[in-house]
Chains A and B, each alone.
Chain A
Amino acid sequence: MSREKILAAVAKNKPDLTPLPEIQNFGNPYANLVEQFKAVLTAIGGEVVYVKDWEEIRAYIQTHFGGRRIVTNIDPLADVAQESWIKSDPHSLEDVGLAILKGQFGVAENGSIWVTETEMGQRVTPFIAETLALVIQKSELVPKMHDAYIRIGGERYGFGAFIAGPSKTADIEQSLVLGAHGPKSMLAFLME
């Protein structure tokens, strides 16, 4: 009932049809995408770690996150983390100390990384862990959001997110606090 009422009211009251504008790409103003990405992500509370290979990531994790509950769905890291969590109740991830997930690509202008459900394993993983680590290839950086959506194209996903840094808030007198509900820290491993 309301559906028809609303649609009829829209049809009656809408202005004459105007065309959609062309979406310009605006080019790439950044001389070095990696440096730009690192500068922005660092400024918004994230941390960037350059690594050569999975071996370096494994070593980094063992040094910095030993003793915590670590989950990943990345095969080469299977020995430093738990793997059998993908089918479990999402609530059971509440005590995860570190989640290491693959990102598809990063965006230099805002330090965000595109991650979909496929890489997340479970949708809640990147949000519920105390620290989130995302791994992307250095070559997988695009300059701007327009490039990001060209890259995503018509991909079908149940859920996807641009993630830019740790969870944060500034609701108390505009003081920035990291770790509102989600991760208190966020790492991006940029791999050669």
Chain B
Amino acid sequence: MNHADAAEKFNKDFDRTTWHDETLWWVRQKRDRAAFAIPEWEQLRETASQIKHNVLSNLDNYLIEFEKNAQKNGITVHWAADAHEHNQIILSILKSQGVTEIVKSKSMLTEECHLNPYLTENGVEVIDTDLGERIVQLADEPPSHIVLPCIHWKKEEIGVLFHKHLGTPEGCADPVLLTHAARANLREKFLTRRVAITGVNFAVAETGEFVVCTNEGNADMGAHLADVHIACMGIEKIIPKREHLGVFLRLLTRSATGQPITTYSSHFGKPREGQQMHIVLVDNGRTVQLGREQFRNSLKCIRCGACMNTCPVYRRSGGHSYHNAVAGPIGAILAPNLDMTKNADLPFASTLCGSCSNVCPVKINIHEQLYEWRQELTKSGHSPTAKTLSMKVMSAVLSNPTVYHLSGKIGRFAMANAPFVVNNSFNPWFKQREMPEPPKESFGEWYKKNRGEK
């Protein structure tokens, strides 16, 4: 199902769409308050963008430097060319440990690589420990937002889900009671699982350490209790020096949820005594995107989700309509890189209003890249058939003045005298709105009458 069809399905529930829209806009407003409280906000964004540009321009050397320093710290470094290799590496570590049950903290990379289904097929039970991720996992769904995985779920629905899976009282929809039920359940998992997987927010080339940011402390509970900690990161998560964390940690959470910082910004330097620590560096299409000049800026993304919260299309269509691990505007420029045919619809799921670019903490020109992708996809024959056909018709009409004037006349006549021709469900402009009243004459006709003969 393409984005437009999936969004239409989401829109059938009018109240839910409104609620989803308002909830995300509220998060966007919290972001604004946090950003406006920092006078140097714009300089921070510019600095972050420049650091990331330097990273992209020197990525191979930073990766080598990171590897060397991480190894010196006692961390085992793995390289994965694609999702499949990433999954295989993880499975082989688990097999070497004889482990069939693990805990995992939120990682959009493992979502991108479809690690959960892969491990499940291979007999490994994966427990997602971020509360939002646990909720969608129990519901057998992917996250619908990279920071707020179950933003599309209502508390009453979570109550029903938890009643079924965690034995909370029937009808209980209290966020505090539900959260504490999940806490008790997950604590048992933390205390018994021997391997923990986490994502990575930033990895520092200079020191070989990596930083994981959570509010719940789930990455830490997992990693510090497990015998083996496996961290998975996209190669673009490298930053050159520790001091650069000062810039990114100031931007990340303010952009994401409006908080001044996450509760835990954990810096993993070495495995603890007796523990194994692995890090998997994943390409999975990133080097290809690096070579696409007009799209490489998308690799600067620090996964804050601000572009989704502000996007009028995302807010009203829901994350699942993007059928990709990363939804919203940033997902729509990352996804076609992974699979142009499957994701050709996504760059069209935008108003090109530019709000996403305005809030992006690393100043990615998201809306410009959406526009670029549209042209790229149309040129390479990936644009939707309906759009291609209507563009052809449009082009024929606009290039011939006689046909243009005649179609204008027919259009105005039809709208005035036979409104049912346009006021029906076949006309997308009639959805959720009335058609405008047609003018009596075109501008061309008016001009000829009033100015043309003088």
A residues adjacent to B (C-beta < 8 A)? 2-3, 5-7, 9-21, 23-24, 26, 29, 40, 44, 90-91, 94, 107, 109-112, 117, 122-124, 127-128, 144-146, 148-150, 152, 154, 156-175, 177, 179-183
Closest Cβ of chain B to A4, distance in Å, is 9
Q: Which residue of A lies closest to B180 (CB)?
A: A179
Q: Which of B5-13, B52-60, B354-362, B392-400 contacts A (4 or more CB under 8 A)?
A: B52-60
Q: Does B186 contact A (CB under 8 A)?
A: yes
Additional A-B contacts beyond A40-B260, A94-B191, A177-B176 (6; CB < 8 A): A21-B54, A162-B264, A167-B263, A169-B132, A181-B186, A181-B218
Query: Considering the chains assembled together, what is the distance between the CA atoms of A158 and B263 in angstroms?
Result: 20
Q: Give the number of A-B contacts (CB < 8 Å).
A: 245
Would A172 and B235 count as touching, CB distance under 8 A? Answer: no
Residues of A within 8 A of B215 (CB): 167-170, 180
Query: Considering the chains assembled together, what is the distance between the CA atoms of A122 and B272 in angstroms?
Result: 9
Would B262 and A164 count as touching, CB distance under 8 A? Answer: yes
Q: Does B76 contact A (CB under 8 A)?
A: no
Residues of A within 8 A of B291 (CB): 9, 12-13
Would A14 and B57 count as touching, CB distance under 8 A? Answer: yes
Contact of A6 among B40, B79, B175 (CB under 8 A): B79
Q: List 10 A-B contacts (CB under 8 A).
A: A3-B79, A9-B288, A10-B59, A128-B224, A145-B249, A159-B269, A167-B264, A181-B183, A181-B217, A182-B263
Number of interface residues of B (CB under 8 A): 88
Would B221 and A2 count as touching, CB distance under 8 A? Answer: no
Query: Considering the chains assembled together, what is the distance between the CA atoms of A170 and B220 in angstroms?
Result: 18
Q: Which residue of B lies closest to A116 (CB)?
A: B267
Query: Quick one: given A10-B59, A14-B290, A17-B58, are A91 and B191 in contact (CB under 8 Å)?
Result: yes
Q: Which residue of B lies closest to A117 (CB)?
A: B272
Query: Quick one: given A167-B217, A168-B263, are A20 and B240 in contact (CB under 8 Å)?
Result: yes
Would A21 and B50 count as touching, CB distance under 8 A? Answer: yes
Would A6 and B281 count as touching, CB distance under 8 A? Answer: yes
Q: Which residue of A lies closest to B268 (CB)?
A: A159
Closest Cβ of chain B to A97, distance in Å, is 15
Q: Which residue of A lies closest to B179 (CB)?
A: A177
Would A9 and B287 count as touching, CB distance under 8 A? Answer: yes
Would A148 and B287 count as touching, CB distance under 8 A? Answer: no
Q: Which of B287-334 contact A (CB under 8 A)?
A: 287-288, 290-291, 293, 296
Q: Report B172-199 CB contacts with A as 1/0, cut-off 8 Å.
A: 0001101110010011001100000000
Would A149 and B246 count as touching, CB distance under 8 A? Answer: yes
Closest Cβ of chain B to A148, distance in Å, is 7
Would A127 and B287 count as touching, CB distance under 8 A? Answer: no
Residues of B within 8 A of A111 (CB): 260-261
Would B190 and A181 count as touching, CB distance under 8 A? Answer: yes
Q: Does B382 contact A (CB under 8 A)?
A: no
Contact of B56 among A3, A15, A20, A90 (CB under 8 A): A15
Q: Does B158 contact A (CB under 8 A)?
A: yes
Query: Considering the chains assembled together, what is the distance between the CA atoms of A54 and B190 in angstroms?
Result: 34
Would A144 and B246 count as touching, CB distance under 8 A? Answer: yes
Would B266 and A159 count as touching, CB distance under 8 A? Answer: yes
Q: Does B374 contact A (CB under 8 A)?
A: no
Q: Does B418 contact A (CB under 8 A)?
A: no
Would A15 and B260 count as touching, CB distance under 8 A? Answer: no
Query: Considering the chains assembled together, what is the distance between the CA atoms of A88 and B269 in angstroms?
Result: 22
Query: Quick one: given A146-B243, A165-B263, A168-B216, are A19 and B63 in contact (CB under 8 Å)?
Result: no
Q: Which residue of A lies closest to B186 (CB)?
A: A181
Would A127 and B224 count as touching, CB distance under 8 A? Answer: yes
Q: Which of B114-122, B147-155, B406-414 contacts A (4 or more CB under 8 A)?
A: B147-155
Q: Does B85 contact A (CB under 8 A)?
A: yes
Q: Does B416 contact A (CB under 8 A)?
A: no
Would A172 and B179 count as touching, CB distance under 8 A? Answer: yes
